[in-house]
Structures are given as structure tokens and as C-alpha cells.
Amino acid sequence: MKLVKGVKTTSRKKTIAKSLEDLPETLTQTASPEAKPAETTTGSARSSAKPVTIEAKIDVGFGNTLYLRGEGVGLSWTKGVPLTCVDGTTWKWTGDVSEQVKFKLLLNDQVWSQGEDLIAAPGQKLEIAPAF
């Protein structure tokens, strides 16, 4: 990097505190013990949710990805969620659900798998071999 003559550069002085007493008051204050994070779901909804695991056994080829579309757990029929590549022939998706999930797999979120829509119940682990 070349410095241009006549251009002033700004430098910031770095200060390192040697103890907690040296820190500004705003950094040393702690939250009150009464403060609790807000709960987003009720206890009954959380306890009834069980993990659903969908494993697809297929080699989609280098550079390709499997996607999941459907109903439930934030799924949509218009935009897919990518599955995680476990190894060269295994793709996996897991989600906590309290109701059944209706879904279908897509190659690169464009090509639909053959056959009917599939259904997974809470707590179920499905191992499928899709065809495209």
C-alpha cells in the first residue's frame, strides 16, 4: 500500500484494561438476576415436538444438492430447504415437529422426485431412495 503525500490517515489508539476496575461502567454492569429470556412457545407445545429425520440414499453427482419442500416446520411448496450431505450417497434433514410433515425431494430445487408426496410423523426416521 502506497501512502499519498498530503493525505492524513487516522489512527485509533488501542487501550487494554488490566482489570475489571479499569473498564467503563457500561461494560462492567451485569444483568439483574430476575431478568429471564422470554419464552416463545408454551411448555406443552415444546414437550410434544419430536424430531423427524429424513435420510435420502442417492448419489446426485458432484455439485448437485437435494432439497426438501412441503408442509409443516417452516417448509414451503414454493422454495426448498437444502439437505445436509452426510457422505457421497446420504443426504439428511432433521426438524422438531408436533404434527406430521408432508414433503417431496427435489434435485437442485428444480427437478421433482418421482412418485407421490411422502409423510413423516413426529419421532419418525425415514430412509428413502428417491428417483428423478
Q: In the prediction, which pLDDT does 19 show?
A: 52
| CATH domain 44-128 topology | Immunoglobulin-like (2.60.40)
Buried-exposed string 50-70: b where 16+ CB fall within 10 A, e elsewhere: eebebbbebebeeeeebbbbb
Q: What is the pLDDT of residues 77-96, one digit of tens each?
A: 999 999 999 999 999 999 99
Q: In the prediction, which pLDDT does 4 show?
A: 52
- How would residue 74 be classed by pLDDT, with cut points 50, 70 and 90? confident
- d(CA 64, CA 108) in angstroms, rounded, equals 6
